[in-house]
A and B are shown apart, each in its own frame.
Chain A
Amino acid sequence: DAGVIQSPRHEVTEMGQEVTLRCKPISGHDYLFWYRQTMMRGLELLIYFNNNVPIDDSGMPEDRFSAKMPNASFSTLKIQPSEPRDSAVYFCASSRLAGGPGTDTQYFGPGTRLTVL
């Protein structure tokens, strides 16, 4: 298995631009997670999906952030408009078990390093 795939690996954009991050989870995994990692705040869960349905988006910082999962093999995280404080590494992860996010190993993608100028 190729593991969790994320694109792009690096993104540099200007403030106010729309940014779309993409993720392909491991085939057969029912859960998909989006995390943000910064020096100041560490690793934060933004949102997670179960069987393509958003379950908990309480970590999404504000309305500028949105996430979709149109099918079991693809998810996007969009920031519109982007701001310099959104600069971070964004990770996607997936897992298998039906017990919920805390009950099985999460497999992380390589991350997207976003820089907003």
Chain B
Amino acid sequence: AQSVSQHNHHVILSEAASLELGCNYSYGGTVNLFWYVQYPGQHLQLLLKYFSGDPLVKGIKGFEAEFIKSKFSFNLRKPSVQWSDTAEYFCAVGSSNTGKLIFGQGTTLQVKP
């Protein structure tokens, strides 16, 4: 079965610190990978996605993620976080074979000014 695991449930960082949020999935077939962000009081919006090609994907607001197939991982990174990055981050894994998109439990990021 398809599943997604986000290791960090709550992360607290100071501004300018580097960020890495873990995401691992389990599924043996071809996957499409997404990171969504939900700012306080707002709806989910896409940060970045990977379907094929270069495994290092760049998204909006300076975020990037790397797909490592051998590790079934799609970790999200940002070299220097800002207070405005405070939000909840969701990793999601989709497959055209299963027809499903599964979201992880989410990671709450709190950035202290």
Contacts and interface: CB of A to CB of B under 8 A. Distances in A.
Interface stretch (B15-23, B41-49, B67-75): B41-49
Nearest to B103: A43
A52 interface: no
Contacts of B106: 42-43
Contact of A111 (B31, B43, B96, B98): B43
B27 to A, nearest CB: 10
Q: Chain A's interface: helix, strand, loop or mixed, by majority?
A: mixed
B93 interface: yes
B101 interface: yes
B96 A103 contact: yes
A42 B105 CA distance: 5
B82 interface: no
Q: Chain B's interface: helix, strand, loop or mixed, by majority?
A: strand
B44 A91 contact: yes
B90 A43 contact: yes
A101 B43 contact: no
A99 interface: yes
Interface residues of A, number: 19
A34 interface: no
Interface in A58-117: 91, 93, 99-103, 105-106, 108-111
Interface in B35-69: 36, 42-46, 49, 51
A56 interface: yes
Nearest to A103: B96
A91 B103 CA distance: 14
Interface string A10-41: 00000000000000000000000000000000
B49 A105 contact: yes
A56 B90 CA distance: 22
A109 B44 CA distance: 8
B43 A105 contact: no
Contacts of A101: 94, 99-101
17 contacts: A4-B43, A43-B103, A43-B106, A45-B103, A56-B99, A91-B44, A93-B44, A100-B94, A100-B95, A101-B100, A102-B93, A102-B98, A103-B51, A106-B101, A108-B43, A108-B44, A110-B42
